[in-house]
């Protein structure tokens, strides 16, 4: 067996000389991808009228993008490691730009759905390669800060999508929300070709084609089941069958990866407590964000009476807090001072405290909710970059693309899980409190069936109570999970500190996995 690879042998002492300019370029590319996750929601009325789109058509226009993107993240990351991260970044930008052009000029629902799927392929390549490039061009001292800025773009893109879409639709026709991506993609493409160094794994093993196929099918099926659950019911045949197929295929993927010499995703990573702790935390951060935003929009509209655009504006303080704290580099400084486990514990505690504050204070007006949003934003700003850095640092540098794919897949899974679980808790509480004669299929339906002002007030109180219970449940889950993740990371750090040198048998599982590979490093 060869000696373990040096952790960051592919970097100059202070990283790439143009690293901050490169970070700005890839964050610009990433922002366009993230905006398109939510921007289409505000265009639904226009699409329904101008393309004569049915409800099912609109759902596929929205979901085709996220489904394809989620299903391809692991495969995209593996391809970037094997064929070159710069090369895949260029391919991703090109596919995303072409897909945006086709989407903007689409004349039918089918054309728009196909274009959105193509954009999802480009988006999967961009989300994985951008993070992988960040890991390659920054050294250990600056990497947490760089990942913090990268994470900031994620929060900004998620929150700004509806606002950006609403602004564009106020001045142009619906196709402009896609065509505006094209100049951004072209600028980013030129900058990537000129500035970004090439890096890839130098190994000559055959590509894991079956693993790529299994991971794509399995993840697509799982995410589709999560997306379909709230609409069709979690016990419907459609959802159960899709979830079963997804779970079975992912189980087959795990077995296949365990029994081939050069797997796409080395399952030995999951024997490392640092990696497992970071994975658990990443899922729960996404769980808290996805579930809370799903509940917040309903809270603002149904309980406090705001319109869709007003509700979107009032969730912005959370994203702005994340942006402000990450741009100051607070999380990176605290990681150096306190250590990753402590920062993750503090961040997850803040996220949980914010959820609890919204649950307890939110029903009395927006002031209490604003406090909770700011606290949540502070927690996310601390936890997300530390978590992503923990995942990426637990994986050998030559597997940076796969690590980014794992990070992106966890975010997709956690967001969907948060919506599913907290939504189910809310609905169960709501149904338990609404009179049986009225029914509780949804708040609007229950209000329509109410026969008196007293019944309407009782229904509104039941819905507010359902929101409160579900938000408190989310807070408990995030807090408990965050403390467990921090404990696992702390134990892993102690084990690494007390382990003998590389020449002994105390080498970690991740280092052993890295022994089976070597990296060419960046190529000019």
- Is residue 96 within 8 A of residue 119, CB to CB? The reply is yes
Contact between 189 and 97 (Cβ < 8 Å): yes
Q: What is the pLDDT of residue 102?
A: 92
Give residue-wise pLDDT tens across range 439-462: 555 676 777 777 677 777 788 788
DSSP string of 434-464, one letter each residue: S-TTT--S-HHHHHHH--SHHHHHHHHHHHH
CB-based contact 76:24 (threshold 8 Å): no
pLDDT mean across residues, the chain:
78
Distance between CA 38 and CA 312 in Å, rounded? 11
* CA atoms within a 13 Å half-sphere pointing along the CA-CB vector of 65: 24
pLDDT of residue 514: 38
Rounded-to-integer distance, Cα 181 and Cα 368, Å: 37
Residue 99, exposed/middle/buried by CB under 10 A (0-12, 13-18, 19+)? buried
- DSSP state for residue 8 in the 8-state scheme: T
The secondary structure of residue 138, as a DSSP letter, is S
Query: What's the rounded Cα separation, in Å, for the pair 291 and 283?
Result: 12
Percent of all residues in the chain with a pLDDT value above 70, rounded to a whole number: 83
Per residue in 299-353, pLDDT tens?
Answer: 777 777 777 667 777 878 888 888 888 778 787 788 888 888 888 889 989 989 9
Selection from 278, 254, 285 nearest residue 417 by Cα: 285
Q: Which residues contact 398 (CB under 8 A, 6 or more apart)?
A: 5, 81, 201, 202, 203, 514, 517, 518, 519
Inform me whether the pLDDT recorded for 292 exceeds 60. yes
Between vectors from CA 518 to CA 517 and to CA 522, what angle results, nearest 5°? 135
* 5 vs 320, more confident: 320
Q: What is the pLDDT of residue 55?
A: 65
Task: Please name which of 82, 411, 403, 388 lies closest in space to residue 265, comparing C-alpha atoms.
Answer: 403
Does 159 have pLDDT greater than 90? no
pLDDT of amino acid 211: 83
- pLDDT above 60: residue 248: yes
The better pLDDT of the pair 197, 398 is held by 197
Residues 364-368: what's their mean pLDDT? 80
Over the stretch 26-39, which tens digit does the pLDDT of each residue have?
Answer: 888 788 777 776 67
State the Cα angle at 277 between 493 and 331, rounded to 5°.
Answer: 75
Of residues 391 and 343, which shows the higher confidence score?
343
How far, in Å, CA of 462 to CA of 445, rounded?
A: 14
SS3 521: coil
What pLDDT, on a 0 to 100 scale, did the predictor assign at position 283?
Answer: 82
Query: Tokens in use for 378?
Result: 């502070």
Please check whether residue 362 is in contact with residue 370, taking contact to mean a CB–CB distance below 8 angstroms. Answer: no
């Amino acid at each position: 067996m060869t000696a373990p690879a040096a952790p960051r042998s592919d970097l100059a002492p202070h990283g790439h000389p143009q690293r901050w300019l490169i970070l700005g370029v890839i964050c610009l590319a990433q922002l366009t991808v993230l905006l398109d996750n939510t921007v289409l929601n505000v265009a639904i009325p226009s699409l329904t009228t101008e393309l004569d789109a049915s409800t099912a058509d609109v759902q596929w226009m929205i979901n085709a993008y996220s489904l394809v993107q989620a299903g391809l993240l692991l495969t995209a990351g593996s391809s970037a490691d094997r064929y070159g991260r710069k090369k895949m970044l260029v391919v991703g930008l090109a596919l995303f730009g072409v897909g945006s052009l086709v989407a903007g000029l689409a004349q039918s629902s089918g054309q728009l759905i196909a274009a959105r799927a193509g954009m999802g392929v480009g988006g999967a390549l961009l989300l994985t390669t951008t993070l992988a490039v960040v890991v390659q061009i920054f050294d250990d001292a600056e990497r947490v800060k760089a990942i913090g800025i990268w994470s900031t773009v994620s929060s900004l893109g998620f929150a700004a999508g509806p606002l950006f879409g609403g602004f564009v639709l106020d001045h142009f026709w619906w196709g402009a929300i896609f065509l505006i991506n094209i100049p951004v993609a072209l600028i980013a493409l030129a900058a990537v070709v000129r500035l970004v160094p090439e890096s890839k794994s130098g190994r000559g093993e055959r590509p894991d084609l079956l693993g790529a196929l299994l991971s794509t099918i399995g993840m697509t099926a799982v995410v589709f089941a999560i997306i379909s659950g709230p609409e069709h019911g979690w016990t419907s045949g459609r959802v159960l069958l899709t979830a079963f197929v997804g779970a079975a295929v992912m189980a087959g993927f795990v077995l296949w990866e365990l029994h081939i010499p050069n797997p796409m995703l080395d399952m030995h990573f999951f024997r490392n407590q640092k990696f497992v702790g970071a994975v658990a935390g990443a899922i729960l951060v996404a769980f808290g964000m996805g579930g809370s935003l799903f509940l917040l929009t309903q809270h603002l509209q149904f309980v406090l009476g705001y319109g869709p655009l007003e509700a979107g504006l009032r969730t912005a303080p959370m994203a702005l807090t994340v942006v402000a704290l990450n741009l100051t580099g607070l999380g990176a400084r605290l990681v150096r001072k306190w250590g990753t486990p402590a920062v993750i514990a503090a961040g997850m505690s803040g996220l949980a405290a914010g959820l609890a504050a919204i649950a307890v204070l939110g029903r009395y007006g927006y002031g209490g909710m604003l406090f909770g949003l700011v606290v949540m934003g502070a927690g996310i700003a601390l936890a997300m970059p530390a978590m992503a850095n923990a995942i990426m640092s637990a994986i050998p540098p030559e597997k940076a693309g796969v690590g980014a794919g794992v990070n992106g897949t966890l975010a997709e899974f956690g967001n969907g899980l948060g919506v599913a679980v907290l939504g189910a808790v809310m609905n169960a509480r709501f149904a338990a409190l609404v009179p049986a004669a009225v029914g509780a299929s949804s708040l609007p339906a229950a209000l329509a069936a109410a026969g008196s002002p007293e019944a309407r007030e009782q229904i509104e109180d039941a819905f507010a109570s359902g929101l409160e219970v579900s938000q408190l449940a989310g807070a408990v889950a995030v807090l408990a999970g965050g403390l467990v993740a921090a404990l696992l990371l702390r134990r892993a750090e102690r084990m690494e500190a007390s382990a003998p040198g590389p020449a002994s048998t105390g080498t970690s599982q991740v280092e052993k996995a890295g022994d089976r590979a070597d990296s060419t490093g960046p190529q000019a």
